[in-house]
Amino acid sequence: MKFSVVAEYYSKLEKTTKRLEMTALLTDLFLKTPPSELPKVVYLTQGKLYPDFVGIEIGVAEKLYLRALSLASGVSVKELDEQLKQAGDVGVLTERVLSKKPSSSLAAFMGLAEEELTVSEVYGTLDKIAKVSGEGAQETKIRYIAGLLKKASPLEGRYIARIILGKLRLGIADMTILDALAEAFAGGRENRPILEHAYNISSDLGLIAEVVAERGVEGLKGIKPKVGVPIRPMLAERLPTAEEILERMGGKCIAEYKYDGERMQIHKSGDRVVIFSRRLENITHHYPDVVEMSRRHIKAREAIVDGECVAINLDTGEMLPFQELMHRRRKYGIEKAMEEYPTAVFLFDCLYVDGRSLLNLPLLERRRALKEIVDESDRFRLSEHIIASSIEELEEMFERAIADGCEGLIAKSIAEESVYQAGARGFLWIKWKRSYQSKMVEPVDLVIVGAFMGRGKRAGTYGALLLAAYDSEKDQFVTVAKCGTGFTDEELFSLPKVLEPYKRDSKHPRVYSKLEADVWFTPAKVIEVIGDEITLSPVHTCGLDVVRRGAGLAIRFPRFTGRWREDKGPEDATTVKEIVEMYRSQLKKVTE
């Protein structure tokens, strides 16, 4: 398949922000793609080469790319650097430079068409670039990139450049790709839940594309949990009171501590242990102590378990705040960090044991299986929990959790239908945190989507950030706050550099904002924010028309807490539903 076909579709996708149009264009592209090359096209459309959990990235910086473009075009790096400032985008720059590139004189003289790039050639070369290492790796990468660009048309060059630098900017979410695959190969979007279920188990859109294209919907049913392949985590909704939680749960539920740590999905096969984060990143390297505890205390030969890791004080047993644990997220000095910030692991679910998937079992059966395979210790044990059937029991457990240094409780259904809903956020699990007791005494996690330039002392940096919540129903990021307080001077002046990789020329297609920011960003970075209260707003789009026609919701006097939520992706941010529930909880407290 010619890569020019893919580039032409990317060009069309770039010109629309309408999800239905995007889906139709992707459906057409997928139908034109040979099944053997479909996974490659899907990965490239995501702007990657492999699923995130594989951990292989192209790893090319802008300066190195410009050296390759210089080699391919004959234009000096200095001149390219100047042109990039005008173009504002490396893809546009590449397209302009390649449009001035003379065609092969020999080919032109002989009247021959120049050889065209194929999808396999582009993907294969990018794969080599990602995997090359050792002495001379940079020069090798430059040669590979230059070789691609010499053969690329200007339009192909635009997208090759963006893929290499991680700036594809098509505005396409995973769910849109699943919609298109369902339309193309599964009889329509009404069958997308089947694809989504398989994706939630495999976390691999390329695999889903390959299977559904070759074997249809029936083939997807053969995708099962596999040790070493992360399952997309089940998530919780939130409610503000014990009364509402018990009512939703049918009068009885498990109430577990909600620990202030990092969620972990631990995979064990013999002595091999792999740990995945909530975002499906392989974080094994950061936690050698958890690896050793998993080897020692998980008795099953093969298992996948779900839990939370927290930093602790070994002398007192006290659980420490999440921010202390994030000192473990480093490339070097792991042994020292392990001594300075020891951890404990609290397990709360079991998804797979010795060849058997437990995903479709009720929660109590999964908990029993978990207890059977874990030899508990002080630092590696099951989460603190009770089975509650009264408001008093829930409230007492809540207060105990807070006193022990936790964020609150997670209430979980114990009904027959309490299966593990991989990748889903629903009311089988409900979180109850201090923030819902009255007004905003606890923070929310919001996505940076834009910024406003600073003035006076803040000239030369951003004066405030435009923050958004996640609308899971519309797959959009909707604004809820304009935050400029809580930052130190050092943090403020580092913001342009930190956010530079996500900077855009225009608003991202998945961002819905009435405000016009000075700078727009791809939704990627999540920060923790606290405010005084949630109010109706004529300018913000979070919960627009839900509470009152023409009004959205906004956080009043938002302040940055100093916490960057590197453990969360943009879709893991606080949702519109949660913001609406918090607002209604406030109203209820006021009226009482």
Tokens of 52: 């995130």
* Phi/psi at 566 (5° precision): -65, -20
Q: Are the CB atoms for 200 and 424 separated by under 8 Å?
A: yes
- Between CA 518 and CA 532 the distance in angstroms is 26
Length of the chain measured in residues? 592
Scanning the structure block, which residue is given the tokens 């919609």?
A: 179
Q: What 3 state SS string does 271-332 have?
A: CEEEEEECCCCECHHHCHHHHHHHHHHECCCEEEEEEEEEEECCCCCCECCHHHHHHHCCCC
- Between CA 512 and CA 150 the distance in angstroms is 39
- Between CA 412 and CA 429 the distance in angstroms is 4
Q: Are the CB atoms for 67 and 145 separated by under 8 Å?
A: no
- Between CA 8 and CA 12 the distance in angstroms is 6
Range list of β-strands (E), 162-261: 235-238, 253-258
Please list the alpha-helical segments (H only) found in 388-468: 391-403
3-class DSSP assignment, residue 135: coil
Checking DSSP bridges between strand 253-258 and strand 385-388, what pairing results, if any?
A: antiparallel
Q: Are the CB atoms for 290 and 343 separated by under 8 Å?
A: yes
Active-site residue, 412 included: no
CA-wise closest residue to 467 among 407, 537, 546: 537
Cα separations (Å) of 490 from 150, 461, 498, 592?
43, 11, 12, 43
CA-wise closest residue to 159 among 7, 1, 2: 7
CA-wise closest residue to 444 among 509, 532, 545: 532
> By CB neighbour count within 10 A (0-12 exposed, 13-18 middle, 19+ buried), where does 318 fall?
exposed
Helix%, strand%, coil% for the chain, nearest 5: 45, 25, 35
Those residues whose C-beta lies under 8 Å from the C-beta of residue 584, and which sit 6 or more positions away, are 240, 547
Q: Are the CB atoms for 428 and 418 separated by under 8 Å?
A: yes
* Phi/psi at 548 (5° precision): -145, 140
Angle at 427 between CA 423 and CA 429, to 5 degrees: 70
Region for 278 from its dihedrals, namely left if φ exceeds 0, alpha if ψ lies in -120 to 50, beta otherwise:
alpha
Catalytic residue among 48, 151, 258, 268: 258
Q: Which residues are catalytic?
A: 258
